Amino acid sequence: MKNSGRSEIAVESTAQLDPKYRGELKRMFGTRALIRETINPDLVAGARILVDDELLIDVTGRKFLRDMFSKSRH
């Protein structure tokens, strides 16, 4: 996909992506970007975004809670 000048954006979130956020992703990565959505209620809140199998943005409630509790144990 990269060779064709297109990006593949995999979005995993707790609910369907708001059209406003889908538009933001298109603006950031180009109108030719292919956005694939997966709904996963186990994330608690937020989303995970993987771009071209390389860049991961994890702003989920699950990650926040995991980080919060793992830091408090030290």
pLDDT tens, 4-24?
678 899 999 999 989 999 999
Q: 34 Cβ partners below 8 Å, 6+ apart? A: 1, 6, 7, 8, 9
CATH architecture of 2-72: 3-Layer(aba) Sandwich (3.40)
pLDDT tens, 12-59?
999 998 999 999 989 998 888 999 999 998 888 988 999 998 878 898
CA-to-CA distance for 12 and 38, rounded, in angstroms?
Answer: 5
CA-to-CA distance for 73 and 41, rounded, in angstroms?
Answer: 27
Strand partners, 5: none
